A and B are shown apart, each in its own frame.
Chain A
Amino acid sequence: MDFLSEIFSVVLSTMGDVLPIVAIIFGFQLFVIKRPFPNLKRVLIGLLYVLIGLSFFLIGLEEALFPLGKLMAKQLTDPEFIRSGLDVVTNGLVWSDYTWVYLFAFAIGFSTTIAEPSLIAVALMANEVSGGSISARGLRISVAVGVAIGIALGVFRIVTGTPLHYYIMAGYVIVIIQTFYAPKMIVGLAYDSGGVTTSTVTVPLVAALGLGLASTIPGRNPLLDGFGLIAFASLFPIMSVMCYAQISEWLAKKAK
């Protein structure tokens, strides 16, 4: 019974998200375009699928993965755990003692991005538009590698306490330089993949990791230092996607 009421409340809140969009679309269709939708019935069934699918997806995550993932982030960042893995126990922990945390950040960044629904959507679209020359799977894996590196580096930043904006600005410079050399076709897509990576699956887990770290490391303020991981996760995929395009272009040239 508890479970049923939870399903109901998730469906309801997803509907709340979808409602403004549906209102805008159908408002314009009715009053501005003044033409009926092609395949209206099919589109409506599709919308219903999206609604139910997304609700099921969220319920499942909430039931299975989020509690465990959040608990894990908390346990891995616990100073007790980190000390227990060291041979020599010193008073303070230095940045190199956090090996498992970096590994976890990398792994969780990669795996949550692969499962991210909005990235799947963009990859499908890119595959279709490019006539199959951009593989949906290749794009998603290169985005996931970017997020993984980004989050691992973001965790390193929290541990060392260096200012966020230096990293971001350095990242911007690299992105701009890469833009000059990357194939023109990929640039827009690469920029977009920065924004889509962080949504339903990634944000809750990554936020838990950042918060866990910032509240256990002495001298860090969770309110100030807990933020910033998402920014890393949306910057690094831009680089990795352009990199992926450059490498595949280079390979194609070499094959000729």
Chain B
Amino acid sequence: MNTFLDVFKSLFSSSRDLLPIILVVTFFQLFVLQQPFPELGKMIVGILFVMAGMSMFIRGLEMGLFPIGESMAYSFARKGSLFWLLLFSFLLGFGTTIAEPALIAVAKEASVIAAEGGMIENNKEAMRAYATGLRVTVALSVGLAILVGVIRIIKGWPIQYLIAAGYIGVVIMTAFAPKEIIGIAYDSGGVTTSTITVPLVTALGVGLASSISGRNPMIDGFGLIAFASLTPMIFVMAYGMII
């Protein structure tokens, strides 16, 4: 009986989350574009899938991803080995980014721009090499970002200094980077952090901050994602300058 109620509750809250998007689409379709809905049945089925998926995902977060991130953080803190913790942070950032579908798509488009702009030779071989290079660059920068972010949590540095330094880095690089790469570089910051990475990395940060004495999980625990979306901008512009 209780589980039934839980399922109903989570479905209800998912439908509340989806309501705005449905309203926006309906309003623009019926009143602004003044067109009927194509394939209404298919849409309703799709929305039911989204609702069910969202409820399951949130349940899985609380059962799986959050506990994993936190328990890894506690184990590393207890073990006291900085080396393994840092290696883990780097690999987590690198490993989750290199396979990220959004990044693969952006890298491909970037290679088209580079070929049209004459930065690389306009053939498939050169474009593929360029795209792969870009992906590895971004993945390295995300790995490095999580690593630096973890060091920051351990040392208790205020986050704004590091972010401000990152901003200055972005501004300086913008002045020197080829014009064609700037838009892609800025966007690549936003696309690197996927739906599975975010809960894990957040739980890792919060877990670390709450298991190290003198750190406040609220002040020190957050901020890892922020680094991970800042460093790719700098690295992608650097990549554009070198190639």
Contact = CB atoms under 8 A, between A and B. Distances in A.
B114 to A, nearest CB: 10
Given A46-B63, A61-B46, A230 B186 contact: yes
B33 A129 contact: no
Interface in B189-207: 189-191, 193-200, 202-203, 206
Place the interface of chain B in its size category.
Answer: 35 or more
B242 interface: no
Contacts of B91: 24
Interface string B72-116: 100110010100100010011001101111100000010011001
Interface stretch (A86-94, A109-117, A246-254): A109-117
Contacts of B170: 168, 172
Contacts of A108: 21, 24
Contacts of B160: 176, 179, 187
A39 interface: yes
Place the interface of chain A in its size category.
Answer: 35 or more
Contact of B38 (A46, A54, A68, A129): A68
A114 to B, nearest CB: 5
A53 B33 contact: no
Contacts of B62: 46, 124
A72 B193 contact: no
B243 interface: no
A195 B186 CA distance: 12
Contacts, number: 335
Contacts of A49: 56-57, 59-60, 63-64
A4 interface: no
A130 B193 contact: no
Nearest to B33: A75
Interface of B: 17-18, 20-21, 23-25, 27-29, 32-33, 37-38, 42-68, 71-72, 75-76, 79, 81, 84, 88, 91-92, 95-96, 98-102, 109, 112-113, 116, 159-160, 163-164, 167, 170-171, 174, 179-180, 182-184, 186-187, 189-191, 193-200, 202-203, 206, 210, 216-226, 228-229
Interface of A: 13, 16-21, 23-25, 28-29, 32-33, 35, 37-39, 42-65, 68-69, 72, 75-76, 81, 100, 104, 107-108, 110-112, 114-115, 117-118, 120-122, 124-126, 129-130, 164-165, 168-169, 172, 175-176, 179, 184-185, 187-189, 191-192, 194-201, 203, 223-231, 233-234
